[in-house]
Amino acid sequence: MTGAGPYVPNELLSRLVGHRMYSVEFVLNDYLQLRFDGEPGGPGPIVLNCYVWPTVTVDGRVWRESELGYADLLRRLVPGAVVATHEATGSGIHIVLDTGSVGIHPKLDEVYTEVAELRGFADGAWMVWRPGEESFEDLA
């Protein structure tokens, strides 16, 4: 992560509020990319690489990757504007859109090296979440 001070949960993730998620990309059925409108002067889109399958919540129901219709629900979140974000140890990271929400808090055996990565901000700020580290200390 870039920055001079200690990591503050949800500080970077909350910068997604107000941005539109415009793309959901399945990369070789290996990981998922969620793309958001970029910032003025930025290098392009803001991208959240999900190296574990997130849960998707629509109309109060939580969907997991193994369930029929999961990919369709992810696609239906687009285009959705980010209205809130949450990040904390014990619950992971969550992005709430006006179309539903995405949550990432895997079990330890679902993680290989990294949980997720967020980058693409105009100031170069980025974050990689790993088990046992920021907001995923409970996965140690």
SS3 of the chain: helix, strand, coil, percent, to 5: 10, 40, 50
Residue 14 · residue 82 · CB < 8 Å: no
* 81-90 burial: b if 16+ Cβ within 10 Å, else e: bbeebbbeee
pLDDT in tens, the chain (140 residues): 555 578 888 999 999 999 999 999 999 878 999 999 998 888 899 999 999 999 999 999 999 999 999 999 999 999 999 999 999 999 999 999 999 999 999 999 999 899 999 999 999 999 999 999 999 999 98
Of the candidates 48, 45, 46, 53, the one whose C-alpha atom is nearest the C-alpha of residue 29 is 53
